[in-house]
Amino acid sequence: MVDIKKITAKNMTDKEFFFGHKACAGCGGSLAVRLAMKVFGEKTFAALPAGCMSAVGFIFPQMAFLNNAIISTFPGTGSMLSGMRAGLDALGFHDTHVVGFAGDGGTADIGLQALSGAIDRRDRIIYICYDNEAYMNTGVQKSGLTPYGTKTTTSPAGKNLSGAVTHKKNLFEIIAAHDIAYAATASVGYPQDYLNKLSKAARVKGTSYIHIYATCPTGWGISTETSVSLAKEAVDCGLWYLAEYENSTFKINRKLTKPELLKEHLLKQGRFKHLKDEDIKVIESERDRKWAQMMEKWG
Amino acid sequence: MKTQMSKQKVFISGDEAVALGVRLARPHVISAYPITPQTIVVERLSEMVEDGSLKARYIHVESEHSAMSAAMGASAVGARAFTATSSQGLLYMAEGMHYASGGRMPIVMMNANRSLALPWSIFGDHRDSLSMLDSGWIQVYVEDAQEALDMTIQAFRIAEDAAVLTPFMINLDGFILTHTYEIVDIPDQSKVDSFLPVFKTPNKMSLEKPKSMGFSTSPADNMEFKYQQHKAMLDAKDIIHSVDNKFGEIFGRSYGGMLDSYYCEDADYVLVTAGSVTGTARIAVDNLRSRGIKAGLIKLRYLRPFPDEELRAAAGDVKAIGVLDKDISFGYEGTIFTNVNSALAHLSIRHVSINFIAGLGGRDISIKDIEGIYQDLEEAVTVGKDKSFAKVRYVNMGVEIDG
Ligand SMILES: Cc1ncc(C[n+]2csc(CCOP(=O)(O)OP(=O)(O)O)c2C)c(N)n1
Ligand code: SF4
């Protein structure tokens, strides 16, 4: 791959592409979109399905994107991106990026079929899933990426259940199983790692996918100023991980550094406040199982 | 195609006629998912893309929802997009259909009219497209393979007109049209190129003028967009007429615009049809006329926009009107019947009007059935004077529902 200048917080463009939108203060999703657009630049055609980022960025007549952007149907982001790519290529605009920004629900649940189709076709599109671990736009309902024990409005914590009863769907590996050209996980708590991955994705010939852990103060019950530090801590204590899939190979970018922070980390968040020790044990053992497996297979 | 007869005339099915029409229209992007009886369209188009005779991108989508979604993506960057479907597939696209019309994306789609499950049936009726009548798409129903090809070309020109910018659905009766072979005249590519200019729209994302599309509105703005959409569809009527006339000048065939009437001038009894059954009804009218019965026929070509004025002009002073619906809106009556009555209600006289439900799930409609319909109309005029008569009748079943 050609050696191009590494984009960092210091040298990245001052130009804003996603601004004046109505996302909550401390929104991890909007940070993910903002940083991505600084890497991809003005020759980008973006599609965003129904979800928080489209809801806050396209309120007529105030549009938040400087570049071309369109709201896709909730299930149809992958295929709308394919159509945009095909149209641009047919009209001779090859030197452009076609990028999707979709929430966890729009990606892992209702949009999975269209996304699978796009990856299967090897279309030259970049798909970014900002994972705030629930359907936020409709009022914090459980999605396929909501972790075990999360209190949402459809997985309440009560006498009988401690919130969501299933673990997160393993979307990164589902995407990789398509033998996609490039896939990565990231976190808004590790911006440089994310910037590197965005730069890689921008150069990929086929389909690329980045799954970024994106804190949501409103849905998670956290204070806005802890949004970035909690996204970092989630990686440090192993509830999320930084990894890549490239040339048909997985790679872990960061080892598990602070497993002991798990309980403290969980209890800082309103959505986990109700968890009892036995629930935390379930989460812990699932984390350990997952890490043991990842280290063995990809480490 | 192997079945070539002369340079211009070929012996092909309705599906193949659509595919040839699409090739002549030079779309940039085709996205489609297979479903009987549409499959031949997408198979032929795939072959044309493979052999290089059609320079389009063919997107193998994983569903009809994605077929529409991809077509919208292509249209939103200023590309000409085509898709085709039928029945269950059309309904699976429902979200995208309202989306495309609201987004003013002039996508052209062929729909092979087919019954809806349950019970499953691959055979034709109009319940699929009529259930999408309110989705904001222009809907035309064709009578034969030639009209299917010609309308495929006209469709792009009408849909892409700056005053219209509305998606366009061409309906072919499943099997009866899609799979029946007819002699079809193939227009010259160069003539089509001059008839159908390169697609240009201000309603697109572009590098010169970046834009946000598909946005949301507050209650303060939404109605204006919906009004504009409605107005564009109404304005499409004039464009439909002028495009049809222009097509006639260049290719020597035109279709009457919004509707086509047959022996209506002095008719006492008129039957209203849509699609392929019109051909059968023409023969029935000929037979009745030879027996001295003043039968007339109106083929509704477009159901959206609806030819209300044209209908009033054509059927203003008949004694009775029958509407043949290959459709039933359960709990009421056929959808075309409702639309026809609403148009006629603007006249000062009240017609005897009867709804004939026929051909559901592909059941054959014979010349005799249609002659029977005219006989029913005649009787209703006599009986209707002093007695009420059944308003909705299932043809060939001996069932009548009092209206
Ligand atoms: C077909 C369809 N079903 C449901 C909805 C309602 N809906 C809109 S956004 C949304 C949740 C989005 O959640 P996610 O994709 O996780 O993104 P987030 O809001 O968290 O950013 C839902 C359920 C819709 N717009 N379309
Ligand atoms: S609810 Fe969460 S994801 Fe949505 S805008 Fe607010 S912080 Fe961002």
Q: What percent of chain B has pLDDT over 70?
A: 96
Q: How confident is the model at residue B384 (pLDDT cuts 50, 70, 90)?
A: low
Contacts of B202 in chain A (CB under 8 A): none
ipTM: 0.96
Q: What share of chain B is helix, strand, coil (3-state, %, to 5)?
A: 40, 20, 40
Whether residues B150 and B265 fall in one domain: no
Q: Where are the alpha helices (DSSP H) in chain A?
A: 28-40, 52-57, 77-90, 104, 112-120, 171-176, 191-203, 217-220, 227-236, 262-267, 277-298
Residues B77, A93: C-beta atoms closer than 8 Å: yes
DSSP string, B237-278: HHHHHHHHHHHHHHHS----TTEEEES-TT-SEEEEE-TTHH
Q: What percent of chain B has pLDDT over 90?
A: 91
Q: Which domain holds residue A65?
A: 28-298
Whether residues B247 and B269 fall in one domain: no
Q: Measured from the CA of A25, which atom of ligand 2 is nearest?
A: 7
In a domain, B273, yes or no: yes
pLDDT in tens, B161-216: 999 999 999 999 999 999 999 999 999 999 999 999 999 999 999 999 999 999 99
Is B388 a residue whose pLDDT tops 90?
Answer: no
Among B214, B230, B251, give the residue marking a domain's end. Answer: B251
pLDDT in tens, A220-246: 999 999 999 999 999 999 999 999 999
In a domain, B401, yes or no: no
Tell whether ligand 2 has an atom less than 6 A from the beta carbon of residue A52.
yes
Taking the CA of residue B175 and the nearest CA in chain A, the distance in Å comes to 30
Taking the CA of residue B246 and the nearest CA in chain A, the distance in Å comes to 28
Kindly report the protein residue whose alpha carbon is nearest to atom 24 of ligand 1: A74
Tell me which residue has tokens 């699409």.
Answer: B22
Q: How many CA atoms lie within 13 A of A160 on its CB side?
A: 1
Is B398 a residue whose pLDDT tops 80?
Answer: no
Find which of B58, B98, B212 to mutate to test the A interface (most A CBs within 10 Å of its CB).
B212
Distance from residue B94's CA to the centre of ligand 1 (Å): 17
Whether residues B27 and B78 fall in one domain: yes
Whether residues B141 and B162 fall in one domain: yes
Q: What is the mean pLDDT of chain B?
A: 95
CA distance A260 to B393: 76
Whether residues B332 and B266 fall in one domain: yes
Residues A96, B207: C-beta atoms closer than 8 Å: yes
CA distance A134 to A51: 10
Distance from residue A19's CA to the centre of ligand 2 (Å): 15
Whether residues B138 and B202 fall in one domain: yes
Other Cβ atoms less than 10 A from the Cβ of B366: the count is: 13
Report pLDDT for B386: 58
In a domain, B3, yes or no: no
3-state secondary structure of A199: helix
Query: Domain containing B32 — which CATH number?
Result: 3.40.50.970
Is B381 a residue whose pLDDT tops 70?
Answer: yes
The shortest CB-CB distance from A83 to any of B70, B95, B211 is to B70
Q: Could you give the C-alpha distances from B40 to B17, B61, B180, in angstroms and in order?
A: 10, 16, 12
Report pLDDT for A200: 97
Contacts of A63 in chain B (CB under 8 A): 212, 215
In a domain, A193, yes or no: yes
Residues A59, B216: C-beta atoms closer than 8 Å: yes
Q: How confident is the model at residue B50 (pLDDT cuts 50, 70, 90)?
A: very high
Residues in B 283-342 with any Cβ partner in A closer than 8 A: none
Residue from A18, A73, A131, A136 to probe ligand 1 pocket by mutation (most atoms less than 8 Å from CB)? A136
In a domain, B138, yes or no: yes
Report pLDDT for B397: 84
Whether residues B246 and B267 fall in one domain: no
Residues of chain A with pLDDT under 70: 1-4
The shortest CB-CB distance from B73 to any of A67, A83, A96 is to A83
Report pLDDT for B390: 82
In a domain, A19, yes or no: no
In a domain, B15, yes or no: yes
Report pLDDT for B26: 98
Domain count, chain A: 1
Residue of A nearest to B225 (CA): A60
Average confidence (pLDDT) over B385-399: 79
User: Listing from the earlier edge strand, what are the strands of the sheet with B259-262?
Assistant: B259-262, B295-300, B269-273, B320-325, B352-357, B390-394, B399-402
Domain count, chain B: 2
Phi, psi of A234 (to 5 degrees): -60, -35
* Whether B338 contacts B392, CB under 8 Å: no
Among B251, B281, B305, give the residue marking a domain's end. Answer: B251
Whether residues B142 and B193 fall in one domain: yes
Query: Is some CB atom of chain B closer than 8 A to the CB atom of A122?
Result: no
CA distance B36 to B59: 19
Whether residues B346 and B226 fall in one domain: no
DSSP string, A110-172: TTHHHHHHHHHTT-S-EEEEEE-SSBTTTTSB--TTPPTT---SSS-B-SS-BS--SPPP-HH
CA distance B278 to B173: 11
Whether residues B225 and B269 fall in one domain: no
Residues B210, A68: C-beta atoms closer than 8 Å: yes
Query: Domain containing B296 — which CATH number?
Result: 3.40.50.920
Report pLDDT for B120: 97
In a domain, A2, yes or no: no
CA distance B273 to B282: 10
In a domain, B293, yes or no: yes
Residues A78, B205: C-beta atoms closer than 8 Å: no
Residues in B 176-235 with any Cβ partner in A closer than 8 A: 205-207, 210-218, 221
Q: Which domain holds residue B288?
A: 259-394
CA distance B57 to A264: 53
Whether residues B168 and B235 fall in one domain: yes
Report pLDDT for B80: 98
Whether residues B226 and B328 fall in one domain: no
Report pLDDT for B403: 52
Among B186, B220, B251, give the residue marking a domain's end. Answer: B251
In a domain, A230, yes or no: yes
Report pLDDT for B317: 83
Residues B212, A65: C-beta atoms closer than 8 Å: yes
Query: Domain containing A112 — which CATH number?
Result: 3.40.50.970
